[in-house]
Amino acid sequence: MFDKYDCFGIYCSCSAAGNKMKMNTKNTCTQLALFLLRLPLAAAHLIRNAGIRKTFRFVRFCLAYYIFVFRKETHRFPQVLLIAVTGKCNLACKECFIRDEKRRASIPTDDLKAILSEAEQNGTKLIGLTGGEPFTHPAIVSLIQEHPKLYFFVFTNALLIRDDTAHALSRLQNVILLVGIDGPSGSTAQRRGAGVYENLRKQFSLLTSNKIPFGITVMTTSKNIQDVTDIRWLKSIRALGSSFALFVQYTPSGRNIRNELLLDAQDMALLKECEISRTMKARMLPLSMHAIGSVCPFRSGKGLYISENGEFGTCPAIPFSNVSVSEKIADVFNSNTYFQELKRMQQGNTSCLFRSNIHAILGLVEKHAACSDYHADLYAALQEYDASAPQQTL
């Protein structure tokens, strides 16, 4: 985080009383109540665009997710799985974690089936599918179809979705698409390539016409923060069919770390204000809550990441592991000493695990020999960042 996700909104209005409301980050009931006051906006929009049944499933998932993220109970199985089904992609976005020609692996379909079956049997609440581009994996739609009890968030650029895929997705009640976009045409073109923004507008029309519920996911940087928080742009995206937005901070992970893209205090204040009031004015539900801390399930040890080469990890920014999907998820989550130490580190953590604990995490990776050759260059890049860059927290 799901994040991911790494996910929702805060205020019910922009009234004077609402602006004076103080957040209690330790009070689950308060957080849930504030979210409930925002939820009808998204629900009304979703009903119009996707129908009652899909909206009901989305609302039910949101409530369950919010409750479990903020409760302090421990679980014997990850409640959220984020799976990079493939490293293949049709774009070459700047600052992408996976942008490396050597990282083009894909998880075999049989392994994905085994992962999802174990997750369903153990009560997992959410499956996030990411990549690369998930729709380059030939089994992506059939996997969602085969597991109606699981709820899927698919992180996608949506450009590979054609009429037949859209028709198949329209028949499913258990999937939401989160479409990557980086602001207006200029900002998106700078990161994703020329013409991508215009093609995305066409894809939004395809999704809407097929009643496929979707929102946007935006990686916020010091370069695009003004554009992506602009109320006029948010309203234009909602008019194209997006019911919600997930704002993700730039994370200095990958092979091209750029510290100048990190959000400063002023940028963070703008992002929080956008999630509190601007999304309200645009009638969109924010699936991120930077004003009260991270709602990413990985920061609290309740989620697990699986990278495109089949290795377990902490999150997409920290994919290191000494175990792969040949092992049972339950065994990894409960018995593997590396992950047990990570979970102890995560207990009580309310901020991004990467930003608050990267020094300690790299130490654990070295201690447990938890870096395979596949991720060796990423580990080297993070060591360099670890030694030179200031840590950014929420």
Task: Write the DSSP assignment of 20-81 as a string of letters.
Answer: HPPP-TT-HHHHHHHHHHHHHHHHHHHHHHH-HHHHHHHHHHHHHHHHHHH-----SS-SEE
Beta partners for residue 45, in sequence order: none
Neighbour tally for 83: CB within 10 Å: 26
Residue 153: the pLDDT is 96
Whether 348 is covered by a domain: the verdict is no
**pLDDT, averaged across the chain:** 82
Whether 357 is covered by a domain: the verdict is no
Whether 386 is covered by a domain: the verdict is no
Query: Residue 4: pLDDT above 70?
Result: no
- Low-confidence winner among 111-125, 150-164, 279-293 (lowest mean pLDDT): 279-293
Residue 355: the pLDDT is 75
Residue 235: the pLDDT is 95
Query: Residue 1: pLDDT above 50?
Result: no
The count of domains in the chain is 1
Torsion, Cα of 348, 117, 56, 130 (10° steps): 70
Q: How far is CA 45 from the centre of its chain?
A: 21
Highest mean pLDDT among 34-38, 40-44, 62-66, 305-309: 305-309
Whether 375 is covered by a domain: the verdict is no
Q: How far is CA 167 from the centre of its chain?
A: 25
- Low-confidence winner among 152-166, 176-190, 357-371 (lowest mean pLDDT): 357-371
- Low-confidence winner among 16-20, 68-72, 278-282 (lowest mean pLDDT): 16-20
Whether 385 is covered by a domain: the verdict is no
Query: Residue 263: pLDDT above 80?
Result: yes
Is 329 in contact with 304 (CB distance < 8 Å)?
A: yes
Beta partners for residue 82, in sequence order: 128, 305
Query: Residue 89: pLDDT above 50?
Result: yes
Residue 233: the pLDDT is 97
> CA distances (Å), 385 to each of 101, 255, 347, 389, 392, in order?
22, 10, 25, 5, 12
Is 148 in contact with 176 (CB distance < 8 Å)?
A: no
Query: Residue 228: pLDDT above 80?
Result: yes
Over residues 331-346, mean pLDDT: 87
Whether 228 is covered by a domain: the verdict is yes
Over residues 369-374, mean pLDDT: 90
Q: Which residue has the higher pLDDT, 230 or 96?
A: 230
The angle, 0 to 180 degrees and rounded to 10, between the axes of the packed helices 337-346 and 353-367 is 150
Query: Residue 83: pLDDT above 60?
Result: yes
Q: Which residue has the higher pLDDT, 35 or 247?
A: 247
Residue 21: the pLDDT is 34
* Structural domain boundaries enclosing 61: 16-297
Query: Residue 337: pLDDT above 60?
Result: yes
Query: Residue 10: pLDDT above 60?
Result: no
Q: Which residue has the higher pLDDT, 319 or 12?
A: 319
Q: Which residues of 135-165 are buried (b: 16+ CB within 10 A; e: fewer)?
A: bbbebbbebbeebeebbbbbbbbbbbbeeeb
CATH of the domain at 49: 3.20.20.70
Q: Output the pTM of the full model.
A: 0.88
Residue 343: partners with Cβ closer than 8 Å, 6 or more residues away? 301
